[in-house]
């Protein structure tokens, strides 16, 4: 046994040396090796990010699409101050490289710098768009792993959430970009998780309608039941594009949560088919699909599957609890989900109950 432990220690030491190489090719190769190991095999303890307290400094980054102008950044900074926090804007936030907020190296450098800065207590993405997957090989995962801080954002930020779940081992928050509107329900949900270290339960509020049967805020149950597991997921388009890369965490026993926007029914069908063929759907213990905003084919509707039929085909056949409810996604009332933390879902009630705090 001693010989085995000695060999294992030598292997991990060699692996650590590989991870320090700074070339993009070396980074990709090391990522592939590390992703094949369980997180505990790195020898790093699983730690939680600190809870936010009023006055904390938070870093503002633009890891994907560009920010239009400095006036938008000023509004974002005001939003952060309204939370009782102090904004620290990354150097390259106002850079532009085509549809991206600067080059891949610049956007990655902003993230690396925020996680290396002891004064920064959390990192907020201003917006999504596209581009986070491009910077994954350039991130300093050793520094990120050693300095747990909440990463907050959604949409394209899904790529960062999943990479952190695979490579860093601490919770992040799939929630509104800081440039979002932040209505009270959204703000209270985030505050409860990030400031109070609480474990809330989410469900749709009762709609006040002059109807015999409620039509708004409905839960669509594809298979009833309850399930527990760690929350993993995000934007379906972004998640499916990471299949086959070293930046996708293990979904065994996970509660998979998904959402999307501006995708026709057949494209949702195609991406869920990809997750099924890749073995992702067959591993999970339950599924929650949030809002699928504008997910309808603009052409003739006759002969077309509805989005609910597509979801029922894929999720109802899994044999695990699964439902759809507009609890998160590209909607004004986007609620915060702690990625990587244990939760329980009730598919008939349409609820998500957090079982452990995301922060310490």
Active-site residues, by number, are 155, 259, 330
CA distance linking residue 127 with residue 34, whole number of Å: 29
Per the DSSP assignment, residues forming a β-bridge with 287 are 256, 322
Give the three-class secondary structure for 70.
Answer: helix
| Token pair belonging to 335 | 């609620």
Instruction: For Cα atoms 134, 139, 145, give the angle at the middle one, nearest 5 degrees.
Output: 140
Eight-class DSSP state of 51: P
| Token pair belonging to 61 | 């980054």
Per the DSSP assignment, residues forming a β-bridge with 61 are 125
CA distance linking residue 316 with residue 55, whole number of Å: 46
The residue with tokens 């747990």 is: 148
Quick one: which of 295, 297, 291, 354 has its CA closest to 323? 291
In b/e form, how buried is each residue of 222-239, taking b as 16+ CB within 10 angstroms?
bbebebbbbbbbbbbbbb
Q: Is 54 within 8 Å of 196 (Cβ atoms)?
A: no
Give the three-class secondary structure for 41.
Answer: helix
């Amino acid at each position: 046994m001693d010989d085995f432990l000695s060999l294992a220690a030598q292997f991990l030491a060699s692996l650590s040396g590989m991870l320090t190489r700074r070339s993009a090719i070396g980074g990709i190769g090391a990522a592939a090796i590390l992703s094949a190991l369980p997180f505990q095999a790195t020898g790093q303890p699983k730690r939680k990010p600190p809870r936010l307290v009023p006055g904390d400094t938070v870093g503002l980054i633009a890891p994907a699409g560009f920010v239009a102008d400095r006036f938008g950044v000023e509004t974002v900074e005001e939003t952060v101050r309204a939370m009782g926090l102090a904004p620290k804007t990354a150097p390259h936030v106002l850079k532009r490289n085509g549809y991206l907020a600067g080059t891949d190296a610049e956007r990655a450098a902003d993230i690396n710098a925020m996680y290396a800065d002891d004064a920064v207590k959390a990192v907020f993405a201003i917006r999504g768009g596209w581009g986070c997957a491009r910077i994954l090989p350039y991130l300093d995962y050793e520094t990120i792993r050693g300095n747990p801080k909440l990463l907050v954002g959604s949409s394209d930020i899904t790529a960062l959430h999943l990479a952190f779940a695979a490579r860093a081992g601490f919770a992040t928050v799939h929630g509104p970009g800081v440039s979002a509107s932040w209505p009270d329900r959204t703000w209270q949900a985030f505050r409860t998780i990030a400031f109070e270290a609480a474990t809330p339960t989410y469900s749709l509020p009762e709609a006040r309608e002059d109807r015999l049967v409620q039509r708004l805020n409905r839960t669509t149950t594809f298979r009833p039941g309850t399930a527990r597991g760690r929350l993993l997921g995000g934007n379906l388009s972004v998640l499916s594009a990471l299949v086959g890369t070293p930046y996708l965490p293990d979904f065994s026993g996970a509660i998979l949560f998904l959402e999307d926007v501006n995708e026709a029914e057949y494209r949702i069908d195609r991406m869920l088919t990809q997750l099924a063929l890749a073995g992702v759907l067959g591993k999970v213990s339950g599924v929650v699909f949030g809002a699928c905003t504008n997910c309808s084919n603009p052409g003739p509707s006759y002969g077309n599957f509805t989005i609910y039929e597509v979801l029922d085909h894929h999720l109802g056949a899994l044999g695990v609890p699964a439902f759809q409810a507009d609890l998160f996604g590209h909607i004004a009332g986007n609620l915060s989900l702690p990625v990587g933390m244990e939760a329980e879902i009730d598919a008939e009630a349409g609820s998500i109950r957090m079982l452990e705090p995301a922060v310490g």
